[in-house]
């Protein structure tokens, strides 16, 4: 009909109108998404008038909000674009094990092992951050300061990696300059975090988590459908061979992939690593009650199965698009965007919102963790004496701006100079933080004999290892040249060093540890629906 009215000369105009309509769909989705985030931020201002409310939501956050906040902080553009693309390319379908490991080890067991004890002891010691926990649990202000510096420094490269992953998809969907993309994302995240604090991030995380779940399911279904369905795509992948990776036929559809040992290293880093990350463990500080922990554990695990499992499963089919991907020039970070190029316009818009959700939720957790740590553990009482509640909250808000600004500058410099891939940035950050904090925090919750000296050894070993890995990578043994494997190694060695050093050094004051562990023996009265009694 249109060609009959306008003739062939009118066809380009019709095509432009079609493209404009498709672009409008994406823009409307983006505007609606951004508006909802900002509205939630200002709605939650009433919860952020003091430190406890701004940093921990008053320790009254329910199971759904906590579980989704945990999951969305866990999985970001780093996972969806960086890790899913890189490890899907390297391990094929076996990369799905990474997502399942994230669900079982990184979510389920983290809640079981850390959830209740973290909530109980941190409230008893009146601590709002991980460095503050180390300071009070081991009676050392120097430990608190050291932990706060490690937190602030090593969360920055992780934050920079979030922007990088997002830029790939924005470039594909909107052809927007990278700098504009990250500035918009940073500003909007800053607005709702500064306005509403932890409660705003928790509510927005819930909204963003819903988007991530439905987005992942839709993308996986459409990508497989475009390749003839699951069985046909799997059959095609089984005929893909890469002598540089493995001489085994059908390696990319095998149970454990072409390199099971490296696959295990990735599972350890991305799963066990959450046990030592301040922005993850902090979720347990704020949870409301016992019921919330039990429900949150189940919700968080299923969230991880869908989002992480779906992302890595999707990445496992990346080699089906090898004729359109040049790893040597585009890098692993180009794999997932290439797989999504042929999706319908509306679905591409949903994918962009999905990755925005993942990135902004993680970014909000990172800036909250780093700024609160710096304000409460380094500046308060050390640099500025007698800070009242209003000054503390104001300082945290100012540091959120500083942290976002620094991470944006580093992200732009990293992108322009092509320093490294997304996964490597995240590996350095996770390896240093989780390697330094995981063992001291875990043993600190469970073992009275853990000593201050052992905590320092864990801090120093992991941070020095990851810095050396970044600067002198070629000097490391081949298996540890990857920051992923180096980070996993740091965590494992921390779990060994802390008990050994603790047994070899002077035991902590008995009164100190007895007082901390007395928190677990506090008597509480519960209703009959909680305990049938005799």
Give the C-alpha separation, 268 to 300, whole Å.
18
pLDDT tens digits for range 315-370: 999 888 888 877 766 677 778 888 887 777 778 777 778 777 877 888 888 888 88
Q: How large a percentage of the chain has pLDDT more than 70?
A: 88
Distances (CA, A) of 336 to 74, 143, 262, 319: 19, 41, 21, 10
Higher pLDDT: 2 or 522? It is 522
Give the C-alpha separation, 201 to 204, whole Å.
5
* Residue 51 maps to a domain: yes
Other C-beta atoms lying within 10 Å of the C-beta of residue 223: 20
Query: 225: domain CATH number?
Result: 1.20.1730.10
Is the torsion defined by CA of 106, 112, 113, 119 positive or negative? positive
* Residue 430 maps to a domain: no
Length reported for the chain? 534
| Res. 17: pLDDT tops 50 | no
357-382: b (≥16 Cβ within 10 Å) or e: bbbbbbbbbbbbbbbbbbbbbbbbee
Q: Are 129 and 369 in contact (CB under 8 A)?
A: yes
pLDDT, residue 1, reads 39
pLDDT, residue 454, reads 97
* Residue 519 maps to a domain: no
Residue with tokens 């070993």: 461
Give the C-alpha separation, 204 to 208, whole Å.
6
* Residue 459 maps to a domain: no
Q: Which of 524, 525, 520 is nearest to 121 (CA)?
A: 520
Least confident segment among 13-27, 186-200, 266-280: 13-27
Is the torsion defined by CA of 273, 274, 279, 281 positive or negative? negative
| Res. 225: pLDDT tops 50 | yes
pLDDT, residue 19, reads 46
pLDDT tens digits for range 82-92: 788 889 999 99
Query: Domain residues for 167?
Result: 14-418
433: pLDDT confidence band, cut at 50, 70 and 90?
A: very high
pLDDT, residue 350, reads 79
| 54-73: average pLDDT | 85
* Residue 482 maps to a domain: no
Least confident segment among 110-114, 260-264, 359-363, 503-507: 359-363
Higher pLDDT: 234 or 245? It is 234
Least confident segment among 26-35, 147-156, 421-430, 476-485: 421-430
Give the C-alpha separation, 331 to 343, whole Å.
21
* Residue 348 maps to a domain: yes
* Whole-number average pLDDT of the chain: 83
419: pLDDT confidence band, cut at 50, 70 and 90?
A: low
* Residue 320 maps to a domain: yes
| Res. 140: pLDDT tops 70 | yes
Structural domain total, the chain: 1
451: pLDDT confidence band, cut at 50, 70 and 90?
A: very high
Other C-beta atoms lying within 10 Å of the C-beta of residue 301: 21
Q: How large a percentage of the chain has pLDDT more than 90?
A: 26
CA 143 to chain centre: 25
pLDDT, residue 172, reads 61
pLDDT tens digits for range 499-521: 999 999 999 999 889 988 988 88
DSSP β-bridge partners for residue 242: 246
Give the C-alpha separation, 412 to 418, whole Å.
10
Other C-beta atoms lying within 10 Å of the C-beta of residue 511: 8
Distances (CA, A) of 205 to 147, 191, 426: 26, 15, 21
Give the phi and the psi of residue 125 in degrees, each rounded to 5. -80, -5
Q: What angle do CA 122, 50, 42 make, to 5 degrees?
A: 115
| Res. 203: pLDDT tops 50 | yes
Residue with tokens 């043994």: 477
CA 189 to chain centre: 15
Structure token pair of residue 406: 């620094």
Name the pTM for this structure.
0.85
Q: Which of 507, 516, 494, 496 is nearest to 150 (CA)?
A: 494
pLDDT, residue 524, reads 67
Is the torsion defined by CA of 64, 67, 70, 76 positive or negative? negative
Give the C-alpha separation, 296 to 275, whole Å.
16
Biggest distance spanned by C-alpha atoms of the chain: 91
Q: Which of 357, 268, 336, 426 is nearest to 80 (CA)?
A: 336
Give the C-alpha separation, 236 to 437, whole Å.
44
Give the C-alpha separation, 499 to 495, whole Å.
7
* Residue 478 maps to a domain: no
Structure token pair of residue 25: 């769909």
pLDDT, residue 8, reads 46
């Amino acid at each position: 009909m249109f060609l009959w009215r306008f003739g062939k000369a009118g066809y380009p105009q019709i095509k432009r109108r079609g493209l404009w309509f498709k672009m409008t769909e994406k823009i409307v989705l983006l505007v609606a998404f951004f508006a909802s985030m900002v509205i939630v931020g200002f709605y939650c201002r009433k919860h952020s008038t003091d430190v406890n409310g701004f940093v921990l939501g008053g320790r009254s956050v329910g199971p759904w909000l906590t579980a989704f906040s945990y999951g969305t902080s866990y999985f970001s553009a780093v996972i969806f674009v960086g890790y899913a693309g890189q490890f899907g390319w390297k391990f094929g379908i076996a990369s799905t094990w990474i997502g399942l490991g994230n669900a079982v080890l990184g979510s389920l067991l983290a809640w079981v092992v850390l959830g209740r004890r973290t909530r109980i002891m941190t409230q008893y010691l009146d601590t709002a951050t991980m460095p503050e926990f180390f300071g009070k649990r081991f009676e050392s202000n120097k430990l608190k300061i050291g932990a706060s510096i490690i937190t602030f420094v090593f969360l920055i490269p992780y934050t920079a990696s979030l922007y990088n992953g997002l830029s790939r998809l924005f470039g594909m969907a909107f052809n927007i300059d990278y700098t504009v993309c990250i500035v918009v994302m940073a500003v909007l995240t800053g607005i709702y975090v500064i306005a509403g604090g932890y409660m705003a991030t928790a509510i927005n995380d819930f909204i963003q988590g819903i988007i991530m779940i439905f987005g992942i399911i839709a993308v996986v279904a459409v990508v497989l459908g475009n390749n003839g369905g699951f069985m046909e795509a799997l059959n095609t992948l089984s005929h893909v061979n890469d002598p540089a990776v493995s001489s085994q036929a059908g390696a990319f559809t095998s149970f454990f992939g072409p390199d099971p040992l490296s696959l295990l290293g990735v599972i350890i880093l991305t799963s066990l690593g959450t046990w030592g990350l301040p922005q993850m463990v902090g979720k347990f500080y704020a949870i409301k009650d016992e019921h919330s922990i039990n429900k949150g554990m189940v919700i968080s695990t299923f969230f991880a199965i869908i989002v992480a499992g779906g992302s890595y499963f999707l990445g496992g089919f990346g080699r089906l698009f090898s004729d359109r991907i040049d790893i040597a020039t585009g890098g692993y970070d180009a794999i997932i965007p290439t797989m999504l190029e042929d999706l319908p316009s509306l679905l591409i818009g949903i994918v962009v919102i999905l990755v925005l959700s993942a990135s902004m939720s993680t970014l909000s957790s990172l800036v909250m963790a780093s700024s609160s740590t710096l304000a409460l553990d380094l500046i308060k009482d050390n640099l500025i004496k007698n800070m009242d509640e209003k000054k503390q909250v104001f300082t945290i808000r100012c540091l959120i701006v500083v942290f976002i600004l620094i991470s944006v500058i580093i992200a732009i410099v990293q992108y322009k100079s092509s320093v490294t891939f997304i996964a490597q940035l995240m590996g350095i950050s996770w390896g240093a933080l989780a390697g330094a904090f995981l063992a001291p925090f875990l043993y600190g919750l469970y073992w009275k004999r853990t000593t201050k000296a052992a905590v320092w050894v864990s801090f120093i070993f992991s941070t020095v290892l990851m810095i050396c890995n970044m600067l002198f990578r070629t000097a490391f043994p081949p298996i540890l040249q990857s920051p992923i494997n180096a980070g996993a190694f740091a965590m494992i060695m921390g779990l060994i060093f802390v008990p050994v050093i603790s047994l070899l050094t002077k035991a902590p004051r008995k009164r100190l540890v007895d007082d901390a562990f007395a928190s677990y023996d506090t008597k509480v009265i519960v209703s009959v629906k909680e305990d049938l009694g005799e």
